Amino acid sequence: MYIETNLSKIKQFAAIRKNENIRFRTFLKGEDGKEIDSIVHRMHKEITAQIDCAACANCCCCLVPNLSKADLNMLSGMENISPEEFQAAYCETDYGDIYLKDIPCRYLDGKKCSISENRPEQCQTFPNTNKPGFISRLWSMISYYEICPIVFNLMEMLKKELKFR
């Protein structure tokens, strides 16, 4: 099984396949969610075994994680400031959600997360392809398609397995 990890190629494919991916989303909405989860979780294991996220770090260069209260408390403690000070200095708020505002992430050191063991929950679980409810997250999967080699390869494998095109 060939796994594409070249971020330039992935970005090019994403532009070319934008409409196809939207059609694929519509197609998947008509499928059995539990069956799709079963297929996606199998593919997630196959793909993640071949991709080193620490060698990529593209998500850390393109996305801002949503922070829970626990994340905010942990990060502010690491910076030796109050959660309020941390939020004022390093976060943005949108519709009540709190996000780290720096792109790339302020904790990215080269291609390594300098707080890997204490990174926010959303960073730990990204890209969420191993969670139940894949069909309910299709818009985010389409947006992550051009950013994350795991999502890109999973979506392409899923298209082939379901004989979409």
The reported pLDDT for the residue numbered 155 is: 98
Work out how many domains the chain is built from and give that number: 2
| 141 and 100 housed in the same domain | no
Per-block average pLDDT, block size 10, for the chain (165 residues)?
94 97 97 98 97 93 96 96 97 95 94 93 95 96 97 98 93
| 70 and 119 housed in the same domain | yes
Q: Which two tokens stand for residue 100?
A: 């780290």
Within a domain: 2: no
pTM: 0.93
The reported pLDDT for the residue numbered 165 is: 77
Q: Which residues touch 54 (CB under 8 Å, ≥6 apart)?
A: 111, 112, 113, 116
Q: To which H or E segment does residue 144 belong?
A: helix 138-144
| 96 and 84 housed in the same domain | yes
| 96 and 141 housed in the same domain | no
Q: Which domain holds residue 117?
A: 64-125
Token look-up 């990204």 returns 126
| 47 and 73 housed in the same domain | no
Asked if residue 43 lies in contact with residue 158, where contact means CB atoms within 8 angstroms, the answer is yes
Strand partners of residue 93: 98
The reported pLDDT for the residue numbered 54 is: 86
